[in-house]
Amino acid sequence: MIPLHLEQIETKMARSQATTSSINLPALAITIYASILLLPFNAHAAATIPENHVALFIFGDSLYDVGMNSHFKHGTLSTYWPYGETFFNKPTGRYCNGRLVPDFVAEFANLPLLPPYLQPGLSNYTNGVNFASAGACVLVDTRPGTINLKMQIDYFEEMVQKLRNQVGDAEANKLLGNAVYLFSIAGNDYVSLFTANLNKPPLSSSYKGQYISMVLGNLTSHITTIYETGGRKFAFQNVGPLGCMPSTKTYYTGNIGNCVKEPQMLAKTHNAKFLGIAQKLQTQLPGFKYSVYDYYSAAANRVVYNTRYGFKESKTACCGSGGYNGAFTCGSPTVKFQVCNDPSDYLWFDAAHPTENANQQYAQLFWDTAAPYTLKNLFNL
């Protein structure tokens, strides 16, 4: 039922007076007024969103997961010490000693730290929310049991409906159109590909090409879904130097040098092809604007030239076990692991994730140097 306005009440009363003199008008007015009081009231129905307000919606994997996975399944390592100790003084579900890139981006944009979508009791989405989840892939069948990108998009569409109920269609459309949609995804698709084929004959170039095309095709489809929902401003962190992660170097026991060649080539090929797709989307979709941050180059440069960027160690992780501390044991309640004294000296906190110090540098680069729009530009559009 829709609440009646005063003018509508007066019109009803006038019509009633004209058609019959047997109705008790004061009683009628009291009855209508009482019925209005009994109508459901939405406390947010009259809410308006400031004209220049820009929300942030985040999608991705463990590089951007701020606790989504810990609400999805219990016992994730990121809920144990020493994760979170540097900034939060406790584990928060982040695979880091402190903040992640999206945390810093929110700070730069004058937004609060955005919670994971599955956080209990969450009901206000006007600043945005984080859907990213550790282990997520673009391809649905790659890692069953994780919140893959399709599930994240499903959660996003569910959130959009809640947002419309919260602020109304007009305000929701305005917010969705002004928002920035931030992505870091697909690395796990390629990690799963090369780890599944470690002791097998080399993959053919044609197979790798088909696999990359499949990842990119699915990713493009999900981007289009958000566009059709009203999204116009997209920011992408490209796939990082997978062959430089401490975990990867433990898989390839004969590895010589800073990074493993095969995973590096998969990431580079994906990134080059994605740039072409983003450019095509901008020409095909009216109003589509995008930013791509070259995380691959930023991280690879810090591996090789670590001291230039203030890191004493860039090959071995701060926390973990085995060669390069590349085993995923950091935080394990059952397996012994090592922890460095000062994570800020390290590029990698654990087997595959940067330290807070590194994340802050990456976020600043994303904000200031991404192209064709910097992330700062997207927020100011």
Can 222 be counted among the known catalytic residues?
Answer: no
Measured CA to CA, the distance from residue 152 to residue 158 in angstroms comes to: 10
Instruction: Give bridge partners of residue 137 from the DSSP assignment.
Output: none
pLDDT of residue 199: 85
Could you tell me how far CA 220 lies from the centroid of its own chain?
16
Lowest mean pLDDT among 52-61, 69-78, 364-373: 69-78
pLDDT digit string, tens, across residues 194-223: 999 988 888 999 999 999 999 999 999 999
Contacts of 21 (CB under 8 A, 6+ apart): none
What whole-number percentage of the chain has pLDDT above 70? 86
Measured CA to CA, the distance from residue 41 to residue 156 in angstroms comes to: 25
Confidence band of 292 (pLDDT split at 50, 70, 90): very high
Measured CA to CA, the distance from residue 239 to residue 295 in angstroms comes to: 7
Tokens encoding 352: 């595959």
Can 350 be counted among the known catalytic residues?
Answer: yes
State the catalytic residue, choosing from 53, 74, 350, 368.
Answer: 350
* Torsion over CA: 349, 353, 355, 356 (sign): negative
pLDDT of residue 74: 66
Measured CA to CA, the distance from residue 372 to residue 151 in angstroms comes to: 29
State the catalytic residue, choosing from 189, 221, 353, 368.
Answer: 353
State the catalytic residue, choosing from 62, 70, 133, 247.
Answer: 62
Can 294 be counted among the known catalytic residues?
Answer: no
